[in-house]
């Protein structure tokens, strides 16, 4: 009886959190269905891990018994438990992974079958019981670590680290490893290094025929890198021009320029390409006009490198503009004033002071555009013609007639190496020099005006860019509401809108008939769920990186960066390879779409958060802790209110990206869960340009409405009646992934 009497005190005692995790683990492995699809009819009666082990799947027994053992040990305070329990735990966790990797959908190796006869039947993906067990295990682990002084005993920090590391492991590392292995597998299923080498050295990756032979074609790697460098260089230069115009001249339409800069961020893919075709294609307005006036025979010059380059420069320049504007505004004007007082002419000051200080900004802008170009999928698809780049090549390796996941894996590795090299080069070029020019002291200098020669250069390039942008968006705006924009039949009509979004009032309820309603609903739902989750994981990661010291922090940071370096197309392939087989079998669900967005956009939230936290004195959090607040409470009551602008940025960014992403989701959508961009892609492929443009316009309007609503909800309550200004984190962080 004494034993029983000690139970309530135990349950409510200081270790109640860890006890509840164990309890949850017990429940999940004893009562909930372990598998996604329970094998056999009789076993449906006891579908839990315990039930399965009783029915002969003995390898699940440790997973069902471990929580009870640990619970008992903790309750009776068995002497071994304090130290050995983590050991027991890790052994069980390791076994969980081993059994999942050894026993697949279609059975197992003969040796395994000899030990566990039933394992030859194979096992399906994890069900609720499995997932909840794993969550409970992680929860218990974080408590146990905190008790041992991990993260200075802060349970919240410890739990955050454990869960984020587990998520990164599952959704970033695991897919990479799994797909990379596939590059070593030959089409007939044998593992060796030969197919890997063969794939990496294939002619269509590296040949340079376009230079050596007159009508030849270059390899995709050569194409991708050339395109990336050109697009990045051009958009960085034009972006610099725009930034100089806004920051350093009396240009009148600064606000308009900032507004235009936002447009491409909310523009769905394909639509710029379509607009360019409408303008410059063989029957395009500009092409035919020029042909009429000058008697030049219209050609298909747009398709291939020129068209893609044009579309990419239009799309990336606004991003480089925002980055460079931030960099330019961060330069302390007194440095330039100092140079002028030392007798330097304006042009010399610009060359010797302003430009070198812009180096990190230029590098960041270039890198961003280069990576965007590598990952761009929509424009090469629409405008590529015969010009292949890595992202389209990967796409066709997966969906094309020659389905070859191994080849897609090798190409993805090439893309990953290219991106990481770009990161590394950027880090080298910027170097270790300090570029901090803004100190705590206020400086009242005035930035000097641009030297004349540069000002003229700027006006020139910028006006051309603005002309193009206006042209494209005029097409986008009217294209959906005329009969056939492709043939310049400009009779106004709403029939495209009708096809996509018709509604009818029938039997007292609204019926959505349009063909696009389903995808729009899914897109909105997925984006609305993904945005807060992405923001949450991004800000939490930022908080860990900025505020916590823990073992393996560097590796942790590298892991988060890796999830940024994996480009859209590649993520799709990785996820297809990793998650359409057990143990984590989630393809075709909405969850995989949401998870994909979470980990793709997490770095943006993270950077916005790190930038915001860097401006907040950490002793405020310490003060909260000494006042008795736990980590979780401090995070909620002190950190969150202070990083609200960053939250908003991350939220908007992840929402918009989820709405407009195409490359990552193209492999992950299913008939039930189609996304708007995949729908638009289908229309473009069928040549239904007007419908594609209409849908894009609707999407943009929906996004603008949603962003406005979000800013009203979050912005209204911003920091109460505080009078001091918030640090200007939000505006520039938006552009920095």
Partner 1 sequence: MSEFAIEFNEVVKDYGQHRAVDTINLAIRKGELVTFLGPSGCGKTTSLRLIAGLELPTSGQVLIQGKDVSQRPASERNVGMVFQSYALFPHMTVLDNVAYGPVIRGVKKAEAENQARTLLNQVGLTNLESRFPSELSGGQQQRVAVARAIVQQPDVMLFDEPLSNVDAKLRRRVRAEIRELQQRFGLTAVYVTHDQEEALAVSDRIIVMSAGKIEQIGTPEDLYDRPKNAFVADFIGDANLLTGVIQKGVFQVGSLRIPVDHQERPSVTISVRPERIRLSDINTETEANGIVLEATYLGSRMEYLIDMGHGMLLCSRPIEERRRKVREEVAIEVQPEDVSLID
Residues at the contact surface with partner 1, assessed by CB under 8 A: 148-149, 152-154, 617, 619-620, 622-631, 633, 637-638, 641-642, 719-724
Q: How far is the CB of 354 from partner 1 (least distance, A)?
A: 34
H/E stretch holding 132 reads: helix 128-147
Cross-strand bridge partners of residue 503: 512
Residue nearer to partner 1 on the CB measure, 188 or 617: 617
Q: How far is the CB of 631 from partner 1 (least distance, A)?
A: 7
Residue nearer to partner 1 on the CB measure, 34 or 150: 150
Q: How far is the CB of 721 from partner 1 (least distance, A)?
A: 7
Radius of gyration over every alpha carbon of the chain, rounded to an integer in angstroms: 29
Cis peptide before 132 (omega within 30 of 0): no
Rounded distance, CA 323 to CA 722, Å? 28
Q: Is 48 left (phi over 0), alpha (psi -120 to 50) or beta?
A: beta
Residue nearer to partner 1 on the CB measure, 147 or 329: 147
Residue nearer to partner 1 on the CB measure, 624 or 649: 624
Give me 718's structure tokens. Answer: 């911003």
SS3 content of the chain, % helix, strand, coil (to 5): 70, 5, 25
User: Is residue 243 within 8 Å of residue 324, measured between CB atoms?
Assistant: yes
Rounded distance, CA 22 to CA 27, Å? 9
Cα–Cα distances (Å) from 598 to 33, 528, 647, 659, in that order, read 27, 12, 14, 13
What residues contact residue 41 under an 8 Å CB cut-off, 6+ apart?
none
Q: How far is the CB of 63 from partner 1 (least distance, A)?
A: 31
Residue nearer to partner 1 on the CB measure, 162 or 357: 162
Rounded distance, CA 142 to CA 162, Å? 6
Residue nearer to partner 1 on the CB measure, 97 or 620: 620
Residue nearer to partner 1 on the CB measure, 110 or 628: 628
Residue nearer to partner 1 on the CB measure, 172 or 638: 638
Q: How far is the CB of 624 from partner 1 (least distance, A)?
A: 7
Cα–Cα distances (Å) from 60 to 95, 414, 445, in that order, read 9, 39, 70
User: Is residue 618 within 8 Å of residue 635, measured between CB atoms?
Assistant: no
Residue nearer to partner 1 on the CB measure, 572 or 631: 631
Residue nearer to partner 1 on the CB measure, 402 or 722: 722
Q: How far is the CB of 549 from partner 1 (least distance, A)?
A: 9
Residue nearer to partner 1 on the CB measure, 489 or 622: 622
Cross-strand bridge partners of residue 504: 511
Q: How far is the CB of 29 from partner 1 (least distance, A)?
A: 31
Q: How far is the CB of 546 from partner 1 (least distance, A)?
A: 16
Longest dimension (CA), the chain: 103
Q: Residue 732, class by beta-carbon neighbours within 10 Å (0-12 exposed, 13-18 middle, 19+ buried)?
A: buried
Residue nearer to partner 1 on the CB measure, 146 or 661: 146
Q: How far is the CB of 62 from partner 1 (least distance, A)?
A: 30
Q: How far is the CB of 539 from partner 1 (least distance, A)?
A: 16
User: Is residue 563 within 8 Å of residue 599, measured between CB atoms?
Assistant: yes
Rounded distance, CA 635 to CA 615, Å? 16
Residue nearer to partner 1 on the CB measure, 72 or 719: 719
Residue nearer to partner 1 on the CB measure, 352 or 636: 636
Q: How far is the CB of 632 from partner 1 (least distance, A)?
A: 10
What residues contact residue 430 under an 8 Å CB cut-off, 6+ apart?
359, 360, 363
Residue nearer to partner 1 on the CB measure, 252 or 722: 722
Residue nearer to partner 1 on the CB measure, 117 or 149: 149
What residues contact residue 88 under an 8 Å CB cut-off, 6+ apart?
66, 69, 70
Q: How far is the CB of 142 from partner 1 (least distance, A)?
A: 14
What residues contact residue 351 under an 8 Å CB cut-off, 6+ apart?
none
Cα–Cα distances (Å) from 221 to 212, 375, 381, 396, 543, in that order, read 16, 13, 16, 15, 38
Cα–Cα distances (Å) from 31 to 24, 47, 166, 493, in that order, read 10, 8, 24, 59
Rounded distance, CA 530 to CA 552, Å? 28
Give Cα 335 to chain centroid, integer Å: 38
Q: How far is the CB of 152 from partner 1 (least distance, A)?
A: 5
User: Is residue 272 within 8 Å of residue 315, measured between CB atoms?
Assistant: yes
Q: How far is the CB of 141 from partner 1 (least distance, A)?
A: 18
H/E stretch holding 671 reads: none
Q: How far is the CB of 79 from partner 1 (least distance, A)?
A: 19
Cα–Cα distances (Å) from 688 to 274, 499, 695, in that order, read 10, 11, 11
Residues in the chain: 737
Residue nearer to partner 1 on the CB measure, 630 or 711: 630
Rounded distance, CA 222 to CA 125, Å? 41
Q: How far is the CB of 639 from partner 1 (least distance, A)?
A: 11
Rounded distance, CA 670 to CA 235, Å? 35
User: Is residue 730 within 8 Å of residue 648, measured between CB atoms?
Assistant: yes
What residues contact residue 716 under an 8 Å CB cut-off, 6+ apart?
none
Give Cα 154 to chain centroid, integer Å: 29
Give me 179's structure tokens. Answer: 């797909």
Q: How far is the CB of 627 from partner 1 (least distance, A)?
A: 4
């Amino acid at each position: 009886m004494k034993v029983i009497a000690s139970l309530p005190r135990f349950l409510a005692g200081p270790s109640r959190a860890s006890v509840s995790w164990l309890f949850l683990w017990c429940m999940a492995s004893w009562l909930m269905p372990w598998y996604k699809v329970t094998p056999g009819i009789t076993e449906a009666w006891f579908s839990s891990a315990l039930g399965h082990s009783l029915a002969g799947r003995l390898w699940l027994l440790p997973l069902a018994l471990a929580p009870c053992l640990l619970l008992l040990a903790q309750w009776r305070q068995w002497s071994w438990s304090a130290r050995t329990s983590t050991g027991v735990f890790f052994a069980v966790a390791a076994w969980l992974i081993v059994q999942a990797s050894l026993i697949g959908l279609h059975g197992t190796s003969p040796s395994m079958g000899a030990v566990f006869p039933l394992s030859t039947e194979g096992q399906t993906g994890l069900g609720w019981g499995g997932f909840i067990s794993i969550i409970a295990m992680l929860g218990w682990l974080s408590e146990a670590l905190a008790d041992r002084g991990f993260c200075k005993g802060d349970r919240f920090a410890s739990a955050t680290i454990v869960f984020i590391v587990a998520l990164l492991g599952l959704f970033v590392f695991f897919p990479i490893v799994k797909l990379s292995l596939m590059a070593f597998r030959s089409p007939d299923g044998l593992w060796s290094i030969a197919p890997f080498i063969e794939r990496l050295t294939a002619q269509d990756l590296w040949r340079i025929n376009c230079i050596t032979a007159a009508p030849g074609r270059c390899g995709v790697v050569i194409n991708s890198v050339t395109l990336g460098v050109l697009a990045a260089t051009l958009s960085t230069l034009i972006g610099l021009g725009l930034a100089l115009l806004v920051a350093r001249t009396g240009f009148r339409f600064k606000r308009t320029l900032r507004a235009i800069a936002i447009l491409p961020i909310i523009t769905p893919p394909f639509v710029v390409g379509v607009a360019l075709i409408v303008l410059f294609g063989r029957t395009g307005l500009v092409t035919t006009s020029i042909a009429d006036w000058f008697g030049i025979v219209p050609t298909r010059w747009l398709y291939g490198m020129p068209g893609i380059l044009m579309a990419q420069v239009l799309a990336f320049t606004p991003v480089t503009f925002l980055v460079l504007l931030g960099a330019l505004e961060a330069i302390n004007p007194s440095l330039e004033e100092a140079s002028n007082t030392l007798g330097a002419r304006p042009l010399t000051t610009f060359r010797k002071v302003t430009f070198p200080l812009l180096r990190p900004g230029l590098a960041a802008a270039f890198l961003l555009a280069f990576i965007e170009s590598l990952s761009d999928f929509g424009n090469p698809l629409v405008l590529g013609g015969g010009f292949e780049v890595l992202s389209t090549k990967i796409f066709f390796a997966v969906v094309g007639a020659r389905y070859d996941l191994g080849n897609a894996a090798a190409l993805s590795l090439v893309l990953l190496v290219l991106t990481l090299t770009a990161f590394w080069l950027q880090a080298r070029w910027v170097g270790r020099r300090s570029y901090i020019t803004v100190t705590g002291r206020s400086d009242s200098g005035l930035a000097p005006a641009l030297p004349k020669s540069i000002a003229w250069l700027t006006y020139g390039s910028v006006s051309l860019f603005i002309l193009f942008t206006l042209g494209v968006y005029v097409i986008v705006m009217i294209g959906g509401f005329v009969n056939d924009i492709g043939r310049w039949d400009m009779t106004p009509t709403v029939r495209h809108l009708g096809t996509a979004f018709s509604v009818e009032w029938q039997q007292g309820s609204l019926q959505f008939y349009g063909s696009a309603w389903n995808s729009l609903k899914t897109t909105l739902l997925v984006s609305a769920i993904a945005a807060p989750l992405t923001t949450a994981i991004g800000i939490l990661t930022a908080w860990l990186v900025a505020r916590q010291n823990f073992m393996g922090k560097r590796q942790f940071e590298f892991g988060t960066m890796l999830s940024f370096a994996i480009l859209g197309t590649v993520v799709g392939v990785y996820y297809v390879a990793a998650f359409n087989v057990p143990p984590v079998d989630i393809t075709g669900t909405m969850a995989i779409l949401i998870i994909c967005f979470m980990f793709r956009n997490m770095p943006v939230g993270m950077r916005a958060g790190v930038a915001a936290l860097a401006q907040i004195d950490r002793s405020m959090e310490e003060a909260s802790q000494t006042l008795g607040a736990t980590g979780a409470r401090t995070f909620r009551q002190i950190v969150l209110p202070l990083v609200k602008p960053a939250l908003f940025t991350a939220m908007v960014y992840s929402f918009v990206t989820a709405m407009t992403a195409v490359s990552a989701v193209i492999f992950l959508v299913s008939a039930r869960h189609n996304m708007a961009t995949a729908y638009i892609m289908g229309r473009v492929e069928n040549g239904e340009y007007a419908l594609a443009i209409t849908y894009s316009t609707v999407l943009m309007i929906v996004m603008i409405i949603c962003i406005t609503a979000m800013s009203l909800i979050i912005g209204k309550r911003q920091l109460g009646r505080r009078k001091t200004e918030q640090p200007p984190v939000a505006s520039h962080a938006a552009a920095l992934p």
